[in-house]
Amino acid sequence: MSDLNKLTLADARDRLRAGDVTSVDLTEACLRAIDGADRLNAFVHKTPDLALERAKAADARIRQGDAPAMCGIPVGIKDLFCTEGVASQAASGILNGFRPEYESTVSAQLRDAGAVMLGKLNMDEFAMGSSNETSVYGNVINPWKTDDRDLTPGGSSGGSAAAVAADLCLAATGTDTGGSIRQPAAFTGTVGIKPTYGRCSRWGIVAFASSLDQAGPMTKTVRDAAIMLQAMCGHDAKDSTSADLPVPDFEAMLTGDIRGKKIGIPREYQIDGMPAEIAALWAKGADMLRDAGAEIVDISLPHTKYALPAYYVIAPAEASSNLARYDGVRYGHRAKLAAGDGITQMYEKTRAEGFGAEVQRRVMIGTYVLSAGFYDAYYNRARKVRSLIKRDFDTVFAGGIDAILTPATPSAAFGLGEMANADPVQMYLNDVFTVTVNLAGLPGIALPAGLDAQGLPLGLQLIGRPWEEGELLKTAHVLEGAAGFVSKPAKWW
């Protein structure tokens, strides 16, 4: 019973229904694992009492026979989701002490489905980062290790990825603005899906870039992702960008049959300097899909090369607008003022103390590109490029392509500190394969497909048609089965 935290979500659900285990058993196993993993720094706000209370309620619900699939499943919640009565800081000092009086729609849907919240998970501050080194709580450490070097779990959902990989929870929520679910999933040998923009409500999720942010699950398997995603989706009248569309039974669509599907291989993703291991894995992934009956088609997404610069204009611009609300007046941190200081000094000192260096950098960039004289040169031009990138995908899908296969990241997990103090652009290049999906509002999934020469996980990405997460998950499920990735990090923490 001590290894129950190592179950997949699907296995745990089935054992709960069969009466072999209880939610309290599962929850206690996860809580023990969390207490023994402080070295990873994945959980930053533990809620054991609340977890056991919800686990007992879930067990009662299961006994009554009306429990949905997520009922009784212990999960972690990224610190970007507001959780009623539980600290929700977006890993930022400026929200120190903030305990919302409301619940985000996504976490409320999981709660109402009977999922058990174990606590809040670490992340990059305001979801701005690719290595989980900008958090006010300190960095998360990847449970995968080489020699004596601590590795990044990726970002911004690094706490979620590390917690799932280390079996601290059965699944976790993440958010993805430019790759923040898919990149950490690839770095930790887990599965992460970013749904179509509008599929999951953004209400109650601390905003980074409102036209790009999207919640999604981070899990141990594709089947688990299908189960959890269904519970997270649905129309929300409180979010004007939430789509009023039916939510399919994603798990039921995992038929294992992708014969006749056309899988696109974009030539523009074959970037200069791509490591041979990444290129080989990509080719192997195409072969596995071909062997499963899919047709592999070379395609072109000609505006891909403009995606990163466009993203790093649009996202900071929206961030500078969203983060203007943090001023020390209504909630969160307020700086101590000197005699004679006015409201302007309060704003300046509070933001200087509360925001980390990376957040300040992006706010300054965003404010600059929105300023008079530069708005058209930068922001409007980036918006036009975004439209061209979306049109590239529309054209490819209109031509009969069902999904697109790419690498998830340009490398395996790198060492903590190796990029944080270098040129920020080098860090931003980690998002080279993922940002196009956010700019176009498409669904994308990352799944583990192999190990590099150092024994670290490498991931592949599948990009799907809008609103066709079910078909995307079906293809990912076949690829997962063919790849046969079963490796886990050796416990050292």
Ordered alpha helix ranges (H), 413-468: 424-428, 435-440
Question: Cis (ω within 30 of 0) for the bond into 240?
Answer: no
Sort strands 191-194 and 262-266 into parallel, antiparallel or unpaired. Answer: unpaired
Catalytic residue flag (residue 78):
yes
Collect all residues with Cβ–Cβ distance below 8 Å to 43 and sequence separation of at least 6.
Answer: 34, 37, 76, 118, 119, 120, 121, 122, 159, 163, 168
Read off the tokens for 288: 């596995």
In terms of Cα–Cα distance, which of 59, 27, 63 is closest to 46?
Answer: 27
Q: Which helix (H) or strand (E) holds 106?
A: helix 105-112
Give helix 222-232 / helix 105-112 axis angle, nearest 10°.
Answer: 110
Residues 6+ apart with CB under 8 A from 91: 44, 79, 122, 123, 124, 125, 126, 134, 135, 136, 137
List helix spans (H) across 342-491: 343-354, 357-369, 381-398, 424-428, 435-440, 469-483
Active-site residue flag, 180: yes
Element (DSSP H or E) covering residue 57: helix 48-64
Q: Please report the sign of the dihedral spanned by the C-alpha atoms of residue 79, residue 84, residue 87, residue 88.
A: positive
From 88, 135, 160, 180, the catalytic residue: 180
Active site residue 156: yes
CA proximity to 185, closest of 226, 135, 227, 144? 144
**Total number of residues shown for the chain:** 493
Nearest to 221 by CA among 404, 447, 488: 447
311-339 residues labelled b (16+ CB within 10 A) or e (exposed): bbbbbbbbbbbbbeebbbeebbbbbeeee
CA-wise closest residue to 103 among 91, 115, 92: 115
Active-site residue, from 23, 88, 104, 156: 156
Radius of gyration of the chain measured on its C-alpha atoms: 21
Task: Check if the beta carbon of residue 123 is closer than 8 Å to that of residue 79.
Answer: yes
**Catalytic residue IDs:** 78, 156, 180
